[in-house]
Amino acid sequence: MRNTFRKIYLALILILLYAPIATLIVLSFNSSKTRSKWGGFTGKWYISLFQDTSIMNALYTTLIIAFVSALVATIIGTAASIGINTMQARSRTFFMTVTNIPMLNADIVTGISLMLLFIACRFTLGFSTILLAHITFNIPYVILSVMPKLKQTNKSTYEAALDLGASPVYAFMKVVFPDILPGVLSGFLLAFTMSLDDFIITHFTKGPGVDTLSTKIYSEVRKGIKPEMYALSTLLFVSVLLLMLLINMSPKDTKTAKHKVFNKAMIFGRVIPVSMILIIVSGGIFYHVESGQSGSEQVVVYNWGEYIDPDVIDIFEEETGIHVVYEEFETNEIMYPKIQSGAIAYDVVCPSDYMIQRMIENNLLAKIDFDNVPNIANIDPDYLEQSTSFDPTNEYSVPYCFGTVGILYNKTMVSDPVDSWDILWNEKYNDNILMQDSVRDAFAVALKRNGASLNSTDVSELQKAMNDLIKEKPLVQAYVIDQVRDKMIGNEAALGVIYSGEAIYTQQENPDLEYVIPKEGSNVWIDSWVIPKNAENKENAEAFINFLCRGDIALKNFEYITYSTPNKAARELIEDESIRNSSIAFPTAEDLKDCETYRFLGDDVDSYYNELWNKVKAS
């Protein structure tokens, strides 16, 4: 009786612990792209994973950083352990505590402090800073596993070796080292695993163009559904699991098992390093070929994830001979401090409207020399006009993509006409409404519905918007961001607030869906290219912007990104008539009449919005 209870309890714990990973593994074999649908078993994500050179590059970077950082940390950590071990008891305790603290420290603290240190020392963030960071956080793990072995070793064996004529180094290598070898090896493996596993510290210390698997997965997943990433995460999980098993098996030293352990140590000592070296050498050749063209001319691009057709970069490099170092961000708020700190000299960046306004106000941007960007003529003047709301003189930015916010609805589930935000307050659709889980988008809906500006700073307008949102809340099924798309495709909701770019995609997957910009007006957003003040290759940046404004190139990007393009020349080149005339992709001036871009309202108003939004969420 008690036994079965115990078993059930154990099973529950295991399920809780491993259910998320099991889901991930299952999804990695799902041939359907949506999370909510099982489309049959497939291994294709694993195959396409290994065909993606950027992922293979990230894999190689990950392995070399894990191997080199573990190796260096093992050498330093072992030496440190020996030093600590010879100390007096009191200073030994002190040093052990000091070396243990970084392990207990939150990764984010370690990551940010390392980043600050690197910036202070004028290091350029990149491969070498990741490596240094990994060495740093790996050392304590090595000390942790070598120390107990050192304490166990009989100090007099070392002295016996000296006594028999050995030099201190020889005595250490022949006598002490074999004794602590299991600890050194498991320290190495532990460090290797920790490095493989790390995301946060890498995230803060990496520079453009360098990615480890974990940062790659992160940036890819942010972009949308990419089952290859489930496959990659599964592989990462399995390798970390295997390494952990190896580590836990290695340092067993009961007297009887000693001989066997020694053989295992041979495996650890020979087989693993040799295979590692093989991987690194072959990877190095591969890597070298890949990045062989890195000449002197380059341009460092900082863009949203999935926001350019990779072919476009290849064509640009081919035509101009300028090497593109490409780095992605996930939100404006992550991008901004990186530009502000100046840790990395980006040449060309693609922020959103309100963020451009903020960057101009904070004097972070350089004026673009439009003599170098003749293709600006391809940009629809309407959008240059729209841009004046954040770049009043049109001197700092070149529009790249734009979109609107509107209502996506399922024709089979909604009988009323959809032309107003009012429908989101219709009790008929109780529990069938999806709202955006972000403060400005949520308030834009309520403000626009009442005929106010979505940049309102009027307290009474805002209070009213808040009360309306609280009234709406019981009808709302969920406040979400990415999932609007999936849930609408899967017929899980009738109405959802969505971005136009995603609306086009959902229509392809589910023809019952329709997109509308409500008659009260909405938000129109514009992402534009800008050049930071500290750009080191300003002319290359202008060449890059000019290239992107070319009709054929803008068309390629439009087809890849599927967000609306302000490029007239590109639109004329679209072959598919239904797309060329799509009112979602290319809203008329009439559609946009009452649409506004977001403006940065200042920190005080910002926090007032957040305060109100928290009240809505808490209601």
Residues in touch with other proteins (CB under 8 A): 154, 156-157, 159-168, 170-171, 174-175, 178-179, 255, 258-259, 262
The amino acid occupying position 388 is: T
| Helix or strand holding residue 186 (H, E) | helix 177-197
CB of 258 to other proteins, least distance (A): 7
| Helix or strand holding residue 214 (H, E) | helix 213-223
CB of 269 to other proteins, least distance (A): 13
CB of 91 to other proteins, least distance (A): 13
- Using the minimum distance from each CB to other proteins, give the nearer residue, 100 or 167: 167
| Cα 3 from chain centroid (whole Å) | 45
- Using the minimum distance from each CB to other proteins, give the nearer residue, 160 or 377: 160
- Using the minimum distance from each CB to other proteins, give the nearer residue, 179 or 492: 179
CB of 157 to other proteins, least distance (A): 5
Alpha-helix runs per DSSP H in 494-592? 500-509, 538-548, 551-561, 568-573, 577-580
Instruction: Please give the C-alpha separations between residue 443 and each of 436, 599, 602, 616, in angstroms, as whole numbers.
Output: 10, 13, 16, 10
CB of 169 to other proteins, least distance (A): 11
CB of 340 to other proteins, least distance (A): 55
CB of 165 to other proteins, least distance (A): 4
- Using the minimum distance from each CB to other proteins, give the nearer residue, 4 or 156: 156
Query: Rounded to whole angstroms, how far apart are CA atoms 615 and 619?
Result: 6
- Using the minimum distance from each CB to other proteins, give the nearer residue, 107 or 253: 253
Query: Rounded to whole angstroms, how far apart are CA atoms 307 and 223?
Result: 9
**In DSSP terms, which residues pair with 528 in a beta bridge?**
399
Query: Rounded to whole angstroms, how far apart are CA atoms 276 and 283?
Result: 10
CB of 267 to other proteins, least distance (A): 16
Strands (E), 413-520: 433-436, 476-480, 495-499, 513-516
- Using the minimum distance from each CB to other proteins, give the nearer residue, 256 or 393: 256
- Using the minimum distance from each CB to other proteins, give the nearer residue, 181 or 423: 181
**What is the bridge-based pairing of β-strands 513-516 and 524-529?**
unpaired
Instruction: Please give the C-alpha separations between residue 528 and each of 340, 390, 440, 588, 601, in angstroms, as whole numbers.
Output: 18, 11, 20, 20, 19
Rounded to 10 degrees, the C-alpha dihedral 488/491/493/497 comes to 20
- Using the minimum distance from each CB to other proteins, give the nearer residue, 2 or 255: 255
Alpha-helix runs per DSSP H in 41-126? 44-51, 53-85, 89-104, 107-120
CB of 286 to other proteins, least distance (A): 39
Query: Rounded to whole angstroms, how far apart are CA atoms 88 and 85?
Result: 8
Query: Rounded to whole angstroms, how far apart are CA atoms 528 and 307?
Result: 12
